[in-house]
Chain A
């Protein structure tokens, strides 16, 4: 079923909306949650919560990008559910990624508290400034938590090229955060 029709089901308060959403996007959402949580049961719970949150949010929302809308909720809920200490012990991918992000913060930026939403807006500006290829690779890595090998496979590139692109993008992020006065 196409996205617009599923959204209509949500608006009509028809519970088939959840069934149809799961049929179309369930696997992708499960994969995303599992990459973050490394636990099938927690991932399934996260996806289930995603459907519930979507049910509560549509209406009044009418998302233009339905999968992005679902995936955002799923990623957010999964990160909230994540036991970071346990994840660190298990050397989870998501912990490595946050450490990589840590290295993008200018030295004086650690003192600055910033709301995630505000940071999201700044990151929007950063993403807009990137060439499309770099943006896609950056988001596959840090938003979808894809491995380097998965990104290379997805885009038909070598792993070393993906790594190089990511390294350059992270340098740009550091420069961007400096210019956006994150360090103040």
Chain B
């Protein structure tokens, strides 16, 4: 191997890094005043400002960061507070101060629930978070973790993380969420430590301040180790299920910031235009704002960061965005990678525009929100709750062809969920479900044979390509979803898989 090999190897890196290097910029604190800059050339003019759809860009960032366990860290602690202290040093290069530590401690709660499958015990040790975002420290005992894989790429994870939130405990409609896992290494006793990061989005941006505990069911399946970019190898099969409640009595600190003009662009014309951000709220966990886009064609690049008073710059680690129910505005959220003490923040930067924080920013003291769970009056004058199903998370194939297991699943946008299954020979089956959209993007190579049939009594279309590949699409109007199955494996019976798509039995 020589230097040219590495140079050529760079041709095969993930496109997102290439894209990032083309359109992102360094943190503000890394820059120097313009007077000190290189003066040999005129400023580089970007011939075209990238204008991806906001949601697509945000979701892309979210998906790219899901499973970010490949970061090179060696963490030697055993508690979630120690983890945040360690991680703070990693991203700021400084020790965590007393006020920042106090915020972490204030937002941390013990969970202490365990489940054992075979000889492996998994414990949800503790959680840091509140409102709609939680970091969970997970400890795995009974498996011999190899310290060789503590650093770098070949790290441990779980094949599947499933999180079920009781939607009746939410004060507004659930419009999305994410969960990711990060391997932290082994503790002194040889137990593996993981950080599971959960967050959810509600249709009403102000509706997440519910003080009551949030019941949650978390399932982890099959301990895996990454063996290359695309493949995880199961190292211990098992299923560990936990039911617990997350305390939300510690309301995050929030401050309201003044409406601010930032640079945006009109997707239809490509023109750069000023965009007025409104309802800007900075909290320990995230940054939220809205802007008007009545035609749906106004967007801004979601490149957000905070500058701390000690000079450290922290980038948001992912974000999400969705139109309001009247479809006139965009509601956007960017999450911080670690809960932040607001008093330590000097300024925030949204889409390249800096907003300085002053003592005059309005502190928000949210009122507890009343639950609005659907209730039916029964004959006996008793109230009974009506089960509310989320088609995106509750409906998925219960029956898979032999040899296939979940490789990846992700929220594509606020109305679409996709699960990828793969077998040992790298054939794939992809299941996609949407509460709003018909699936039309899977196009097979001709010649294509098309059959009309039914899936559980609902009209369906099966297409089979003579060059390999099958697509099955159906619409279940009873339960309110569109679904599609795509596979490269002609031996797979897509009808059988589709017939098995049912909701979880309560």
Which residues from chain A sit less than 8 Å from chain B, CB to CB? 2-4, 11, 24-25, 27-28, 59-60, 62-65, 67-69, 71-72, 75-76, 79, 84, 94, 97-105, 109-114, 116-125, 127-129, 131-133, 135-137, 139-140, 142-144, 149-150, 152-159, 161, 176, 179-180, 182
Of the candidates B5, B7, B13, B315, which one forms a contact with A127 in the assembled complex, judged by CB atoms under 8 Å apart? B13
Contact B11 A158 (CB under 8 A): no
A-B contact pairs, 8 of them (CB 8 A): A64-B15, A102-B6, A119-B5, A124-B13, A135-B20, A144-B21, A156-B31, A180-B152
| Additional 8 contacts, C-beta under 8 A, given A64-B15, A149-B38 | A28-B47, A68-B15, A121-B228, A124-B70, A127-B17, A137-B26, A155-B30, A156-B26
Pick the contact of A158 from B6, B17, B19, B38 — CB < 8 Å?
B38
Q: Does B98 count as interface, using CB distance less than 8 angstroms?
A: no
Cα separation A105 to B302 with both chains bound (whole Å): 37
Tell me, rounded to whole Å, the shortest Cβ–Cβ distance linking B26 to chain A.
Answer: 4
**Nearest-CB residue, chain A, relative to B443:** A59
Beta-carbon contact of B18 and A155 below 8 Å:
no
Partner of B31, one of A68, A98, A157: A157
Name the distance in Å between A54's Cβ and chain B's nearest Cβ: 13
Interface size, B (range):
35 or more
The chain B residues found within 8 Å of chain A, CB to CB, are: 1-22, 24-27, 30-32, 34, 36-38, 40-41, 43-44, 47-48, 50-53, 56, 60, 68, 70-72, 91, 151-153, 228-229, 267, 315, 441, 443, 445
A94-B7 in contact (CB<8A)? yes
Q: Is the CB of B37 within 8 A of A153?
A: yes
Minimum CB distance partner of B53 in chain A: A4
Known: A129-B72, A152-B37. A139 touches B17 (CB 8 A): yes
- In-complex Cβ contact of B152 among A98, A129, A131, A132 (8 A): A129
- Cβ-defined contact, B19 with A65, below 8 A: yes
Most buried by A among B1, B2, B7, B14: B7
Minimal beta-carbon separation of B48 from chain A (angstroms):
6
| Contacting pair A153 B22 (CB below 8 A) | no
Chain A residues with CB below 8 A from B18, complex form = 65, 67-68, 71-72, 139, 143
Q: Which of A99, A128, A153 contacts B43 (CB 8 A)?
A: A153
For the residues of A in contact with B, the DSSP-based class is helix
A162 CB, nearest partner CB in chain B, Å: 9
A121 to B154, CA, bound (A): 11
Closest to B27 in A: A133
- For B52, the chain A residues whose CB sits under 8 A away are 2-3
Which of B152, B229, B315 has a CB less than 8 Å from the CB of A176?
A: B152
Is B17's CB under 8 angstroms from A132's CB? no
Are B3 and A105 closer than 8 Å at their CB atoms?
Answer: yes
Assuming the A-B contacts A65-B16, A125-B70, are A120 and B37 also in contact, with contact meaning beta carbons closer than 8 angstroms in the complex?
no
User: CB-CB < 8 A to B443: which residues of A?
Assistant: 11, 59-60
Q: How far is the CA of A41 from the CA of B118 in the complex (A)?
A: 66
Q: Contacts of A180 on B, CB cut-off 8 Å?
A: 152-153
**Interface pair A116/B11, CB less than 8 Å apart:** yes
Chain B: CB-nearest residue to A24:
B48
CB nearest to A84 among chain B residues:
B4
CA of A149 to CA of B12 in the docked complex: distance in angstroms?
A: 26
**Contacting pair A156 B34 (CB below 8 A):** yes
Instruction: Give the shortest distance, in Å, between B88 (CB) and chain A (any CB).
Output: 14
Contact B32 A102 (CB under 8 A): no
Contact between chains at B267 and A2 (CB < 8 Å)? yes
A17 to B17, CA, bound (A): 25
The 7 closest A-B pairs by CB, nearest first: A120-B12, A102-B3, A119-B9, A125-B153, A129-B72, A101-B3, A139-B21
User: Nearest A residue to B153 by beta-carbon distance?
Assistant: A125
Residue of A nearest to B65 (CB): A128
Q: How far is the CB of A44 from chain B (nearest CB, A)?
A: 17
User: How close is B435's CB to chain A, nearest CB, in angstroms?
Assistant: 22
Knowing A72-B11, A182-B1 are in contact, say whether A157-B30 is a contact too (CB < 8 A).
Answer: yes
Chain B residues near A137: list those with CB within 8 A.
Answer: 26
Known: A155-B26, A156-B34. A136 touches B53 (CB 8 A): no
Contact A140 B31 (CB under 8 A): no
Contacts of A99 in B (CB 8 A): 3
Q: Is the CB of B26 within 8 A of A132?
A: yes
> Once the chains bind, are A129 and B71 in contact (CB under 8 Å)?
yes
* A176, B40: Cα distance in complex, Å: 34
Supposing A3-B52, A69-B15, A143-B10 touch, asked if A133 and B26 sit within 8 A by C-beta, the answer is yes
Distance, CA A94 to CA B445, complexed state (A): 39
Let me know if B60 and A64 touch, CB within 8 A: yes
**The residue from B17, B31, B152 contacting A135, defined by CB atoms under 8 A apart:** B17
